[in-house]
Amino acid sequence: MRWLERRGRTGAGMANHLYYGDNLDVLRESIRDESVDLIYLDPPFNSNATYNILFRAPSGEASQAQIEAFEDTWHWNDAAERAFDDVMQSGNAQAADMLRALRSFLRDNDVMAYITHISVRMLELHRVLKPTGSIYLHCDPMAGHYLKVMMDAVFGVVGFRNEISWKRTTAHNDARHRFGDVADKIFFYTKSDNYNFRMQYGPYDEEYIRSKYYHKDEKGRAYRLSDLRSPHRGPISCTTIRATSLTRTAGRSRWKGWLSLID
């Protein structure tokens, strides 16, 4: 930690460094405002894992103090209360109101401690993220819905871009009295509308092209037939759709097909 104290929050020497210690301390002491392009966080919760390997001193010996501090993060105690107070005094009224409402509902327990510790870090992550930056929060179904409303409070509802479902395993035998627990969530938010996003492209598999794009136009170009649903939420008045005819089958009306799209 001596290196962190010497450099301070000037940002000098930030590139290509791995920080050892509590990420909240590192964010507050060493990362300058609006200096980060991309954030990904995957906070563990109730995983029953042993983290001794993660928390080793430079000598290779396990750092018991770090291990105990990490384990205490998931229980409501004085540290959780301090984190809660930090959010209340942060100046972000929406985050404070939302966290206060969650505490009123959940009470003081392990889940609330987890949400509180993540929330105080969200505020710092919002501070260090560039206006063009993006943040991805990976979480499991245990508390993901609570974390999402905190992300809405910190980054704004308009900052929400995607909820990504990550299938982390195939089906297993926990699906006896419910659906299988096989997926996690990744929430994608941005700090502004002017964010960097580079679409990734790749070639289609030849078998996929043959099975889906088997129609040809007058120039020999392949195409497929699909529905006309818009990816946008809400009505979009850019075209008018007319049906060829209306037929009846067993007393019920149905559309026979589409004639054209008219501007």
Reported as a single tens digit per residue, the pLDDT across 65-96 is 666 656 656 789 999 999 999 999 999 999 99
Residues 6+ apart with CB under 8 A from 67: 51, 52, 55
Q: Which of 97-101, 114-118, 163-167, 177-181 shows the highest mean pLDDT? A: 97-101
Q: Parallel, antiparallel, or unpaired for β 215-216 and 160-167?
A: unpaired
**8: which 2 tokens?**
């301070």
Q: With b meaning 16 or more CB within 10 Å and e meaning fewer, what string describes 171-190?
A: eeeeeeeeeeeeebbbbbbb
Q: Which of 5-14, 49-58, 87-96 shows the highest mean pLDDT? A: 87-96
Query: Nearest Cα to 191, choosing from 78, 29, 37?
Result: 37
Report helix, strand or coil for 158.
Answer: helix
Mean pLDDT of 196-208: 91
Q: Which of 27-31, 224-228, 233-237 shows the highest mean pLDDT? A: 27-31
pLDDT at 153 over 70: yes
Long-range contacts of 105-109 (CB under 8 A, 24+ apart): 106/146, 108/76, 108/80, 109/76
Residue 130 — pLDDT band, cuts 50, 70, 90?
A: very high
Contact 69, 82 (CB under 8 A): no
| Torsion over CA: 25, 26, 27, 33 (sign) | positive
| Identity of residue 31 | I
**87: which 2 tokens?**
């959010």
Residue 47 — pLDDT band, cuts 50, 70, 90?
A: low
Residue 261 — pLDDT band, cuts 50, 70, 90?
A: very low
pLDDT at 219 over 80: yes
Q: Give the Å distances, CA to CA, from 176 to 124, 133, 179, 182, 209.
A: 42, 42, 8, 14, 38
pLDDT at 182: 85
Contact 45, 113 (CB under 8 A): no
Backbone angles phi, psi at 240, to 5 degrees: -115, 135
Helix H, strand E, coil C: the string for 59-125 is CCCECHHHHHHHHHCCCCCHHHHHHHHHHHCCCCHHHHHHHHHHHHHHCCCHHHHHHHHHHHHHHHH
Contact 182, 171 (CB under 8 A): yes
Q: Parallel, antiparallel, or unpaired for β 215-216 and 183-190?
A: unpaired
5, containing H or E segment = helix 2-7
Contact 124, 33 (CB under 8 A): no
Residue 149 CA, chain-centre distance (Å), reads 11
Mean pLDDT of 56-63: 56
